[in-house]
Chains A and B, each alone.
Chain A
Amino acid sequence: MKSALLVTAVVATLASAGAAAAHANPGVVGLLAALAFAAIAAWAGAAAVLLEAPDDCTEPRHRPASSDEGDEIVTRAGVFGRLWAGVIGALALAGIVPLISLGRRARTAGGTAWTRGARLVTPEGRPVHFDDISLGGVTTVFPEGHVDAPEAAAVLIRVEDNAMLTNHAWAPRGNVAFSKICTHAGCPVAIYRRADYLLYCPCHQSEFSVLFGARPIAGPATRALPQLGLDIGPDGYLIARGDFSGPVGPDDWNRPA
Chain B
Amino acid sequence: MITRRLGRFFDERLGSAAVLRTAFQKIYPDHWSFYLGEFALYCFMLLVATGVWLTFVYEPSPRDAYTSVAALGRNDPIGYLMRQVHHWSSVVFVAAIVLHLGRIFFTAAFRKPREINWVVGVLLLALASLTGFTGYSLPNDALSGTGLRIGISVALSVPFIGAWTSNLLNGGAYPGPLLLPHIYTIHVFFLPVTIGLLLGLHLGMLVLHKHTQFERDETVVVGRRFYPDYLLRTIAALGATVAVIVALSSTVEINPIERYGEYKEWLVPNPAVPDWYAGWLDGALRLGPAVEWRILGHPVPAVFWPGVVLPSLALMLVIAWPWIDARLTRDSAYHDVLVPPSAAPWRVGVGAALIAAGVVLTLAASDDEQALALHVPVIVLVWLYRLAFAFGTLGIGFIAAIFANEVHVRRARRGAESERVVVLKRNEHGGFEEETGTPA
Contact B247 A30 (CB under 8 A): yes
Residues on the A chain within 8 Å of B208, using CB = 64
A121 interface residue per 8 A CB criterion: no
Residues on the A chain within 8 Å of B424, using CB = none
Contact A25 B77 (CB under 8 A): yes
Contact B232 A57 (CB under 8 A): no
Stretch at the interface among A166-174, A183-191, A224-232, A237-245: A183-191
1/0 per residue, CB under 8 A from B, across A38-54: the answer is 11111111011001011
Contact B81 A185 (CB under 8 A): no
Min CB distance B170 to A, Å, is 9
Min CB distance B335 to A, Å, is 11
Min CB distance A234 to B, Å, is 29
Residues on the B chain within 8 Å of A118, using CB = none
A3 interface residue per 8 A CB criterion: no
B431 interface residue per 8 A CB criterion: no
Contact A220 B246 (CB under 8 A): no
Interface residues in B405-430 (C-beta closer than 8 Å to A): none
B299 interface residue per 8 A CB criterion: yes
B341 interface residue per 8 A CB criterion: no
- Which one, A41, A51, A105, contacts B243 given CB within 8 A? A41
> Which residue on A lies nearest to B242, using beta carbons?
A37
A184 vs B186: C-alpha distance when bound (angstroms): 26
A59 interface residue per 8 A CB criterion: yes
Contact B113 A216 (CB under 8 A): no
Query: Known: A30-B247, A45-B233, A185-B149. Contact between A252 and B166, CB under 8 A?
Result: yes
Query: Known: A44-B236, A190-B270, A202-B270. Contact between A61 and B225, CB under 8 A?
Result: no
1/0 per residue, CB under 8 A from A, across B10-37: the answer is 0000000000000001110010000000
How many of chain B's residues touch chain A, expressed as a range? 35 or more
B301 interface residue per 8 A CB criterion: yes
A219 interface residue per 8 A CB criterion: yes
Contact B153 A249 (CB under 8 A): yes
A58 vs B217: C-alpha distance when bound (angstroms): 10
Contact B229 A51 (CB under 8 A): yes
Contact B268 A187 (CB under 8 A): yes
A27 interface residue per 8 A CB criterion: yes
B393 interface residue per 8 A CB criterion: no
Contact B250 A30 (CB under 8 A): yes
Residues on the B chain within 8 Å of A254, using CB = 162-163, 298
A219 vs B31: C-alpha distance when bound (angstroms): 48
Contact B285 A185 (CB under 8 A): yes
Min CB distance B438 to A, Å, is 31
A210 interface residue per 8 A CB criterion: no
A111 vs B240: C-alpha distance when bound (angstroms): 55
Min CB distance B265 to A, Å, is 6
Min CB distance A58 to B, Å, is 4
Contact A186 B150 (CB under 8 A): yes
Min CB distance A216 to B, Å, is 7
Contact B77 A19 (CB under 8 A): yes
Query: Known: A27-B250, A30-B249. Contact between A38 and B265, CB under 8 A?
Result: no
A177 interface residue per 8 A CB criterion: no
Contact A250 B300 (CB under 8 A): no
A181 interface residue per 8 A CB criterion: yes
A27 vs B77: C-alpha distance when bound (angstroms): 8
A216 vs B289: C-alpha distance when bound (angstroms): 13
Min CB distance A245 to B, Å, is 17
- Which one, B167, B222, B282, contacts A58 given CB within 8 A? B222
Contact A107 B173 (CB under 8 A): yes
Contact B298 A256 (CB under 8 A): yes
> Which residue on A lies nearest to B381, using beta carbons?
A205
Contact A188 B247 (CB under 8 A): no
Residues on the A chain within 8 Å of B202, using CB = none
A163 interface residue per 8 A CB criterion: no
Interface residues in B285-299 (C-beta closer than 8 Å to A): 285-286, 288-292, 297-299
Query: Known: A34-B247, A105-B172. Contact between A202 and B26, CB under 8 A?
Result: no
Residues on the B chain within 8 Å of A80, using CB = none
Contact A186 B149 (CB under 8 A): yes
Residues on the B chain within 8 Å of A188, using CB = 146, 265-268
Contact A251 B301 (CB under 8 A): yes
Min CB distance B381 to A, Å, is 9
B165 interface residue per 8 A CB criterion: yes
- Which one, B77, B219, B221, B268, contacts A23 given CB within 8 A? B77
Contact B251 A180 (CB under 8 A): no
- Which one, B27, B81, B171, B291, contacts A59 given CB within 8 A? B27
Query: Known: A45-B233, A185-B303, A254-B163. Contact between A29 and B288, CB under 8 A?
Result: no
Interface residues in B254-279 (C-beta closer than 8 Å to A): 264-268, 270-272
Contact B164 A104 (CB under 8 A): yes
1/0 per residue, CB under 8 A from A, across B229-247: the answer is 1101101111110111011
> Which residue on A lies nearest to B85, using beta carbons?
A30
B439 interface residue per 8 A CB criterion: no
Contact B150 A187 (CB under 8 A): yes
Residues on the A chain within 8 Å of B26, using CB = 59
Interface residues in B65-88 (C-beta closer than 8 Å to A): 74-78, 80-81, 84-85
A14 interface residue per 8 A CB criterion: no
Going nearest first, the 10 A-B pairs with the smallest beta carbon separation are A30-B250, A41-B239, A153-B266, A103-B164, A103-B168, A48-B232, A37-B243, A34-B247, A44-B235, A38-B243
What are 6 inter-chain pairs, A to B, with CB distance below 8 A? Answer: A25-B77, A42-B236, A45-B236, A187-B272, A190-B268, A219-B382
Interface of A toward B, CB cutoff 8 Å: 19-20, 23-31, 33-45, 47-48, 51, 53-61, 63-64, 100, 102-108, 123, 140, 148, 150-151, 153, 180-181, 184-188, 190-191, 202-206, 216, 218-223, 249-257
